[in-house]
Amino acid sequence: MSHEDLTQTPLPADGGFEVHLAQRGQTYQVPADQSILRVLSDAGVDLPFACEQGVCGTCLTKVVAGQPDHWDMFLTPEEQAANDQMLICCSRSQTARLVLDL
Ligand code: FES
């Protein structure tokens, strides 16, 4: 298992996961008590956002790999089920790694 694909691995028990930004080639650790948006903003990644409550859709981001855990009220159930986009201010991950188109 030298090349374990964490985008296929269930979320660890501590609730933390890693986010890889495909365009920037950077990986960040997201702890259970922080949003993806907060982690990236704190790291200096400048991203658009507004409500931070999963309502406005401003932080909509394309998902390249991994499975989001949708907590927003913006996407339709069908859009959420497609797992190809997510609201990074409130939604999390069901897999140990998410790859985002950022
Ligand atoms: Fe409004 Fe994420 S900032 S949905």
pLDDT tens, 23-53? 999 999 999 999 999 999 999 999 999 999 9
Q: Positive or negative, the Cα torsion across 8, 63, 16, 1?
A: positive
**Of 56, 52, 57, 62, whose CA–CA distance to 21 is shortest?**
62
Helices (H) and strands (E) in the chain, counts: 2, 7
Please tell me the distance between residue 64's alpha carbon and the centre of ligand 1 in angstroms. Answer: 19
Ligand 1 atom nearest residue 56's Cα: 1
How much is the pLDDT for 3?
63
Is the domain covering 17-100 a CATH 3.10.20.30 domain? yes
pTM: 0.93
Q: Do the bridges between strand 97-100 and strand 17-21 make them parallel or antiparallel, or are there none, so unpaired?
A: parallel
60 forms bridges with which residues in the sheet?
A: 87
Please tell me the distance between residue 3's alpha carbon and the centre of ligand 1 in angstroms. Answer: 34
Please tell me the distance between residue 36's alpha carbon and the centre of ligand 1 in angstroms. Answer: 12
